[in-house]
Amino acid sequence: MIYNHKQYSSRRDNFVALWIMLILLAIFYPILISLYVILPSFIGLAGYWMINGIKDENLMPIFISSLYLINLDINTSVPIFSGIISVLLCYLFILPRFRIIANCKICTSTIMVLSIYIIYFAVAYIFDFTFELDIVHISLLILISMILDILLVAML
C-alpha cells in the first residue's frame, strides 16, 4: 500500500475543521435558542452524545456536549449544570435498567432521550419549587423539540 501524505493531511484537516465547527455550534446555538424560542433545544441529542462518549471513553463528545448543555442552561436561564446532572442521572440509574433491550438501538436511544428530558424538567421543577421561581413552562414547543431529538438520535 502506498502512503499518500497529502490524502492523510486533508483527512486530518477535515477532522479538525469538523471539531471546530461542532465547538462553535455548541457555543453559538444556545444563544440562538434564547433569541428564537421556536428552535429545538437538542437536550436529548447532546445527552445521548455525552452518554456515548462516556461509554466509549472519548473526551471530545463529553467536552462538546458538556459545553453545549452548560451554555444552554446559561442562555435559557435554567439552573446551571441541570443538563449535565440530568444526563448523568440517566446514565447512572436509567440506562443500566435497560440493558435487556440493548439489541434494539432505536429503543434504547428513544428511552434515553425521553428519560433525559423527564429528568431535566424534574430537576428544573424541583429548583422552581424550592426557590419559588417560574422558570420552566411546558408547551407544545418542548414536545416538538423532544420528537426532533428522538428522530435525530434514532438516525444516528
Question: If pLDDT is split at 50, 70 and 90, which confidence band does 88 have?
Answer: very high
Which ranges constitute the DSSP H helices of 36-81? Answer: 43-56, 59-75
pLDDT of residue 129: 84
**CB contact at 8 A, 119 and 90:** yes
Could you give the CA distance from residue 38 to residue 80 in angstroms, rounded to a whole number? 22
> Which three cell numbers, joined as nine digits, stand for 132?
419559588
Is the confidence at residue 149, as pLDDT, over 70? yes
Give the number of other Cβ atoms within 10 Å of residue 116's Cβ.
28
What whole-number percentage of the chain has pLDDT above 70? Answer: 88
Q: Check if the beta carbon of residue 28 is closer than 8 Å to that of residue 64.
A: no
User: pTM of this prediction?
Assistant: 0.85
pLDDT at 14: 80
Inter-residue contact 118 to 75 (CB < 8 Å): no
Find all residues with CB under 8 Å of 73, minimum gap 6, and list them: 79, 80, 81, 82, 83
